[in-house]
Structure 1
Amino acid sequence: MVDRTAQPERTMGHTLSYAVNCSILFTELPLPRRPNAVRAAGFDAVEFWWPFPDAVPGDHEIDAFIGAIRDAGVALVGLNFAAGDMAGGDRGLVSWPARSAEFLDNVAVTVGIGAQLGTRAFNALYGNRVDGVAAEEQDELAVRNLAAAAAAAAEIDAVVLVEPVSGAPRYPLRHAADAITAADRVERATGATNVALLADLYHLTVNGDDVEAAIARYTDRVGHVQIADHPGRHEPGTGEIELDGQLTALQAGGYDGWVGLEYKPSTTSTQSVEWLPRARRAAQH
């Protein structure tokens, strides 16, 4: 393993902007206090997995979440649609027949939050394969549900993200090409062009994708980027992924969006962002 933790003031070669994923970082704090902690650490933007236990939470819960973002003075640049019980192994509702209605109900809530906060990227986790349902049937359902999400997102000039995921054996999207195929199916069926690839460089690496080749081929289809090092899924510099080179290649290919810090801190959350000089934490665009 390459240990770069002794060089916290490394300067990254690209000038992309970073957002902190508050569903995996700063979890030592109650959720409403995390955006303020991110702001205190010098960042301007956050992203979240679905932050509520229910797909359709009460108005007071939604208002409290929106208030926490606004009070901290940070931008919410990415938000997941409801994805089921993530801790229990669920990985999305998009292709899950028994929960399709729940997903569609959630779309309105999620995009509604985005409309209030200026969020322009929503991650639709595809869902695991389900026993007793043909893969083709699940994929057809996914097209319909992604199309519905894309139509709602288009109303606020936003994109729906499709993400390859690791560590979930029954999740069918593993490589960048799998997510692109899902997006292409939606475009062929409906004409929607706002379904994009979420390029999580950690998940792609763990799944054995050729990340450099995927960047070269699909940068123009990337709607959002997330990073963690491997092995360990910790902060950059604790593993072996050449994240700086990959991010530089993405930027050289025309990507100018956000990079989500979606890693498990190897120490405290505050210490785990020290790899990035404080001057680089504020938005670069």
Structure 2
Amino acid sequence: MLKFTANLSMLFTEQPLIERFKAARQAGFSAVEIQFPYDLSAAVIKDRLDEYGLQLVLFNVAADDLLQGGEGLACVPEKRDRFRRAVAQTVEYAGLLKPEAINVLPGRCLGKNCLGHYMETFTENLSFAADAFSPLGIKTVFEAINTNDMPGFIIHSGAQMLSMLDQLKRPDLFMQYDIYHMQTMGENPAEFIAEYTDKIGHIQFADCPGRGQPGTGQINFERMFSAIGESGYSGWVGAEYKPVGATEESLNWLTL
């Protein structure tokens, strides 16, 4: 039986973030994730989690201008100090909210000749983040994102994620595997998850193309969910899609 989380940054957006905890609980979720929780204080989030009996499974280190088309934070050499301050902020939140994993978004390289330097910076920053989160008993994860939605994203394949894990060789570092992004890049998510289950710390999904709920694109999610279950993966599976219509009407996949 798979364990699903509701990503409150993308689901239930008909309501303010502060109200989405209740909506997720009413829809049947026992766990949630948030991309960037920092608009709310950790104490306020903790109160909502306790009130509705929810677990916060995952959130991201702040990523600066990434969602606005910029390069982000974790791979930009000139932003090392800002990244470290962002990690310190994340540690403050994590100490109270106790997520299972924290995601470090690699970011983009928009220059033609700087990719090597950006990759080196990300590697150093990823290790720095893991050093900060591991004493709290929290896994560090990082994510590949497709280059159609985010041109220039420096990690955009399963092979690149595996290479990073092999380079750092840390038992506290895992992949965050996003089915939508890797399907968009032409990979076979079911086969990848089956082969590398032990290296995956979190899974997210949306249909492809379009990034809507299951049933709006080309992925057979009945087969996909079965494949995840058969792989032996025991972690959480995050619903991180853009609902077509009202969120509550997009949840039929929960019965697959």
Correspondence for 1:203 among 158, 161, 181: 181
Alpha-carbon separation, structure 1, partners of 2:135 and 2:109: 30
Q: Which has the higher helix share?
A: 2
Aligned residue for 2:17?
31
Do 2:66 and 2:107's aligned partners in 1 also have CA atoms closer than 8 Å?
no
SS in 1 for 2:183: helix
CA deviation after TM superposition for structure 1 residue 137, in Å? 1.5
Question: How far 1:175 moved relative to its partner?
Answer: 1.3
Question: 1: CA distance between counterparts of 2:154 and 2:51?
Answer: 39
Q: In structure 2, what is the equivalent of residue 177 of structure 1?
A: 159
What SS class does the counterpart of residue 83 from structure 2 fall into? helix
Range 82-91 or range 235-244, more displaced: 82-91
Deviation of 1:96 after TM superposition, in Å, equals 1.1
**Other-structure match for 1:229:** 207
Aligned to 2:230: 252
Kept after mapping to 1: 8 A contact 2:61/2:103: yes
Q: For residue 83 of structure 2, what is the aligned residue in structure 1?
A: 103
Deviation at 1:186, TM superposition (A): 2.1
Per-residue CA distance 1:46-86 (angstroms, 9 max, x = gap): 00111236xxxxxx833223333333321000111111234
Q: Distance in 2 between matches of 1:146 and 1:120?
A: 17
- Asked if the contact 2:4–2:31 (Cα under 8 Å) also holds between the matched residues in 1, the reply is yes
1:66–1:113 CA contact under 8 A, matched in 2: no
Whether the 8 Å CA contact 1:198–1:223 is kept in 2: the answer is yes
Cα distance between partner residues in 1 of 2:48 and 2:79: 29
Is residue 154 from structure 1 mapped to residue 134 from structure 2 by the alignment? yes
In structure 2, relative to structure 1, the CA distance for the partners of 1:231 and 1:212 (3 Å cut) is same
RMSD: 1.9
Equivalent AA in structure 2 for residue 156 of structure 1: L
1:25 deviates by 0.7
Q: Deviations over 1:175-222 (max 9, x none)?
A: 1111121222222xxxx2211111111110011123233223311111
User: Number of matched residues?
Assistant: 254
**TM-score normalized by the length of structure 2:** 0.92
| Structure 1 outlier segments of 4+, above 3 Å | none
Q: The residue matched to 1:273 in structure 2 has which SS?
A: helix
1:68-124 deviation per Cα after TM superposition (whole angstroms, max 9, x unaligned): 333332100011111123441246421112222122112122133223222111110
Indicate if the aligned counterparts of 2:108 and 2:153 stay in contact, CA closer than 8 A.
Answer: yes
Contact 2:212 2:243 in 1 (8 A): yes
Paired residues for 1:1-285 under 5 Å: 15-52=1-38, 61-90=41-70, 92-131=72-111, 134-166=114-146, 167-187=149-169, 192-277=170-255
Conservation of the 8 A alpha-carbon contact between 1:114 and 1:120: no
- Answer yes or no: is the 8 Å Cα contact 1:225–1:258 preserved in 2: yes
Q: Distance in 2 between matches of 1:183 and 1:92?
A: 21
* Corresponding letter in the other structure for 1:177: A
TM-score (norm 1): 0.83
Distance in 2, matches of 1:215 and 1:151, equals: 26
Between 157-166 and 16-25, the greater mean CA deviation after superposition: 157-166
Q: Any unmatched runs of 5+ in structure 2?
A: none
- Does the C-alpha gap of structure 1 residues 18 and 68 become closer, same or farther in structure 2, counting only changes over 3 Å? same
Q: Which structure's relative contact order is higher, taking Cα pairs within 8 Å and 6+ residues apart?
A: 1
Amino acid at match of 2:152: R
- Cα separation, 1, equivalents of 2:11 and 2:226: 24
Question: For structure 1, which runs of at least 5 residues remain unmatched after alignment?
Answer: 1-14, 54-59, 281-285
